[in-house]
Amino acid sequence: MISRIENARAVCTGRGTAIHVVTAVTLLSIVTFDAAEAQGKGIRFWNLTSATISGLQLSPAGKNAWGPNQTLNDRDKEVDHDERLRITDVEPGRYDAKVNYRAVKECLVRGIEIKADGVFSIADKDLRDCRKLPQ
């Protein structure tokens, strides 16, 4: 009878150890996933205009302090319709955008809310103060 009880304890202890290992691995996986998720994808721009954008500059709202051309972050240096572009060196906040279309016209978009690891978009209806550029 004692050997059966000892065997039962050994089996329970073995299962208990396995459960603890599985639990520890699961918790470690969750922590690792959360750390990776916290890094996020960064700020991205989604071109919902009907044309290819060749220039996209951002300025803190109302400041006219235009940053670098973000389309240079793209492989072909342009952002096609329905394409997304990773935005660099911009903190979350409210911005104005200067949008350039292949040196033919330039438009402004005011008061864009940019969030950390978020996607902001510009559509044709958002474009204001468009002007033809000198040839």
108, 98 Cβ separation under 8 angstroms: yes
CA atoms within 13 A on the CB side of 115: 5
Structure tokens at 110: 């005011």
pLDDT tens digit string along 44-94?
999 999 999 999 999 999 999 999 999 999 999 999 999 999 999 999 999
pTM score? 0.71
CATH code of the region 44-132: 2.60.40
Where exactly are the structural domains of the chain? 1-39, 44-132
